Amino acid sequence: MNQVKSSRAKTVDEYIASHEPTIQTLLEQMRETIKKAAPGAEELISYSIPAFKQNGMLVWYAAFKNHIGFYPRGSGVEAFENELAPYKHAKGSIQFPMNKPLPLSLVARIVKYRVKENLQR
């Protein structure tokens, strides 16, 4: 497989392909979950990582050494603060550890929240 430095990826496919297979699986799970939750969103690379936009930027996600980062802006984190308690998170970021299943239903709810929020702007 042709490895691409993820920081130089021009497409989401290139970004995902630049990671090892176990990480690719997690990234694809995030990608598909976000696509289903925001079917009208456009997929792109933003800040050198995969992102989706619909009436403005919705969310970003990325692979790191020990976690998958998810970036639903500050409002997306704040609205789900209680459910995010088990995960390391900050104002606009959440870290999902790679040694546990991704909370995909939570990711979907956060994305739907962000879609609604962007539509109200």
pLDDT score at 34: 98
DSSP annotation string for the chain = -----GGG-SSHHHHHHTS-HHHHHHHHHHHHHHHHH-TTPEEEEETTEEEEESSSEEEEEEE-SSEEEEE-HHHHHHTTTTTTTTSEE-SS-EEEETTS---HHHHHHHHHHHHHHHHH-
pLDDT score at 8: 83
User: Is 5 a residue whose pLDDT tops 80?
Assistant: no
Reported confidence tier of residue 1, pLDDT bands at 50, 70, 90: very low
User: Is 2 a residue whose pLDDT tops 60?
Assistant: no
Q: Which residue has the tokens 């308690």?
A: 85
CA distances (Å), origin 92, targets 11, 43, 67, 72, 108: 23, 19, 16, 6, 16
**What phi and psi values does residue 57 have, to the nearest 5 degrees?**
-70, 140
**Tens digit of pLDDT for each residue in 67-116?**
999 999 999 999 999 999 999 999 999 999 999 999 999 999 999 999 99
**Tens digit of pLDDT for each residue in 25-73?**
999 999 999 999 999 999 999 999 999 999 999 999 999 999 999 999 9
Mean pLDDT of all residues in 10-14: 96
- For the chain, domains (ranges, CATH) are 6-120 (3.90.1150.200)
